[in-house]
Structure 1
Amino acid sequence: MAQTAGHSLAVVTGASSGIGHELARQCARNGFDLIIAADDPAIERVAEELRALGAVVETVQADLATLDGVDKLHAAVKGRPVDALLANAGHGLGHGFLDQDFADARHVIDTNITGTLYLIQKIGRGMRDRKQGRILITGSIAGFMPGTYQAVYNGTKAFIDSFSFALRSEVQDFGITVTCLMPGPTDTEFFERAGMMDTKVGQGKKDDPAMVAKTGFEAMMRGDGDVVSGWKNKLQTAMATVIPSGVLAEQHRKMAEPGSGKD
């Protein structure tokens, strides 16, 4: 992969659809060349679209829930300076925790937390050595509330939301910014993949992923610490800081309980 003269290099994970796809598009439109990764063959179609925007694009198809998958992605960097890491890969899982296959629950944890942190550490060390870099981590407003019938996912996002602020503080003297994008329900394949299409949240109105990605990209470029996309989500996160956790858990039950979307 030969970079375009004057272009910076961005790595975007979970780029085959949804917010990740739109984040990659934002990068391509704003002068970045790209390494995009996902576990989905659709990543090749996305690459062709991004090349049409003038970016040099390399693809990596790998399961970023595994250390081997992250190593495969990192190897594709080939020691080049990464100017922006957009760590977006993640997925959810609906239904009650005791009813879930533990392998599925663990895959959520390993994708949302383990693989994400491993990649950030590997690329972040290079940024620290150069004293330059931007990191955008896709968290969620779900991290502000106990996720009844989505307990594992919300727990991982609570971890990610917290981790991003801690990492930001640790690297602030090394020319690195860390931004946490916290979307609410977004119109992607997330709810279908999580088995939540029969829930109120699965069937409810959702945000435009292009708008969410633009909000996150612009916050990253400004070096903001965090950004919640959408005024309704901002209100919800503000309320979550004062409402007791038990009440929040019951509110989440009403939105995510299987069958709650049926009339």
Structure 2
Amino acid sequence: MESQTGKTALITGATSGIGLELARLFAQDGYNLVLVARQEDSLRRVATDFEQQYNIRATTIAKDLMETNAPEEIYQQTRQQGITVDVLVNNAGMGEYGKFATETDLQKELGIIQLNATSLVHLTKLYLKEMVTRNEGKILMLASVVSAIPNPLMAVYGATKSFIYSFAEALRNELKDTQITVTALMPGATATDFFNKAGAQNAKVTDSDLADPAKVAKDGYDALMQGKDKVVSGFKNKMQVAMSHVLPDTVVSEAMRNMMNEKGYEEEADEEHESLTPLAIGLGLATVVLAAGIFLTASYTNANWYEKRRYKEKLKSLTNALTPSLN
């Protein structure tokens, strides 16, 4: 079977959730696929389905990216088969729910760092070198809304997503004079098996309006193909990210903690914290952001040179946060 584009996309975590939907979008557009996940039987089912539906070639590589040697083995396998990876999709990721100090398992968290961050860096290093040699390629990084917002009760997961976002933005700058693009996809809570695997199935956030993984994947795919640096999927999530640029981290963290607490959990809190429900913040966010912009603009006029520099940075962050919200 021959690809319509002659190009190949490698997708990690490709058998479910956002990864599966991204693989489907590439297949629909005629890309050959390299599907990476842990279970060979699941990989083969997806590969066979896509080959039959879209007349493309799907190669499967069963590897656990929590293992330190997995990225090199994946790379060597594609080289041995003569596969050129034109698009790298670093999608695989996992979380662990609970208080870091007393409730979560250290070994699992170290594995999460290996999966979410270390293996992602390793795969990117290997395939990006080839892209630079060809001066062509695309990379999609699965970041998250929590790349910009502290994530209590999933502290390690949130930290890895912040790392991914920063890494993606830095690489994009380094590659600005090439034909290679790096795009960060930043979804919020999505209707996948993520919360079950993380042990967070009873978190309040799971009762919210979870995003459709197909819609998230389409947002990421479109942004990747357009060469954008990032995309926050969903209007509510765009506003959350905008909020993170103008409100104190303590306020944003408290709001996120409220969403991540278990259902039925009531924490003793002062009136200020009780008012920081996601709904209240969501309803008032547009006003807060607008007011913050007006305040910063007005303050800039009478500021000294140092304060003006700080205000310019805040205004820039606010503008960047609002731009995707208004598109």
Q: Is the 8 A contact 2:142 2:185 kept in 1?
A: yes
1:90 matched to 2:89? The reply is no
Q: Quote the Cα distance in structure 1 between the aligned partners of 2:217 and 2:189.
A: 13
1:249 matched to 2:242? The reply is no
Q: What is the DSSP-based 3-state SS (H/G/I as helix, E as strand, rest coil) of the residue aligned with 1:162?
A: helix
Alignment-derived partner of residue 34 in structure 1 = 33
Higher relative contact order (CA 8 A, sep 6+): 1
Q: What is the DSSP-based 3-state SS (H/G/I as helix, E as strand, rest coil) of the residue aligned with 1:214?
A: helix
Answer with 22-31 or 195-204: which moved more: 195-204
Post-superposition shift, 1:155?
Answer: 0.7
Answer with 239-248 or 64-73: which moved more: 64-73
Q: Quote the Cα distance in structure 2 between the aligned partners of 1:169 and 1:64.
A: 27
Q: Is the 8 A contact 1:203 1:261 kept in 2?
A: no
Q: Is the 8 A contact 2:68 2:114 kept in 1?
A: no
Q: Letter of the 2:218 partner, please give it.
A: K
Segments of structure 2 that go 5 or more residues without pairing to the other structure are: 267-327
Q: What is the CA deviation profile of residues 31-88 of structure 1, one whole-angstrom value per residue up to 9, with x for unaligned ones?
A: 1001010113422211122112211000011111223111221122115321111110
The one of 147, 158, 162 equivalent to 2:162 is 158
Alignment-derived partner of residue 24 in structure 2 = 25
Q: Quote the Cα distance in structure 2 between the aligned partners of 1:63 and 1:194.
A: 17
Answer with 117-126 or 34-43: which moved more: 34-43
Alignment-derived partner of residue 14 in structure 2 = 15
Q: Letter of the 2:226 partner, please give it.
A: R
The one of 225, 235, 240 equivalent to 1:236 is 240
Q: Letter of the 2:89 partner, please give it.
A: L
Question: Alpha carbons of 1:243 and 1:174: their partners in 2 closer, same or farther (altered >3 Å)?
Answer: same
Q: Is the 8 A contact 1:136 1:178 kept in 2?
A: yes
Provide the identity percentage: 38
Alignment-derived partner of residue 46 in structure 2 = 46
Q: Quote the Cα distance in structure 2 between the aligned partners of 1:151 and 1:125.
A: 32
Alignment-derived partner of residue 66 in structure 1 = 67
Answer with 37-46 or 135-144: which moved more: 37-46
Q: What is the DSSP-based 3-state SS (H/G/I as helix, E as strand, rest coil) of the residue aligned with 2:73?
A: helix
Q: Quote the Cα distance in structure 1 between the aligned partners of 2:257 and 2:63.
A: 34
Q: Is the 8 A contact 1:197 1:203 kept in 2?
A: no
State the superposition RMSD in angstroms.
1.5
Post-superposition shift, 1:257?
Answer: 1.8
Segments of structure 1 that go 5 or more residues without pairing to the other structure are: none
Post-superposition shift, 1:4?
Answer: 3.5
1:85-234 counterparts in 2 under 5 A?
A: 85-98=88-101, 99-234=103-238
Larger radius of gyration: 2
- TM-score, normalized by length of structure 2? 0.77
Q: What is the DSSP-based 3-state SS (H/G/I as helix, E as strand, rest coil) of the residue aligned with 2:34?
A: strand
Q: Quote the Cα distance in structure 2 between the aligned partners of 1:6 and 1:22.
A: 19
- TM-score, normalized by length of structure 1? 0.95
Post-superposition shift, 1:206?
Answer: 0.5
Counting matched residue pairs gives 261
Task: Give the structure with the larger helix fraction.
Answer: 2
Runs of 4+ in 1 over 6 A off after TM superposition: none
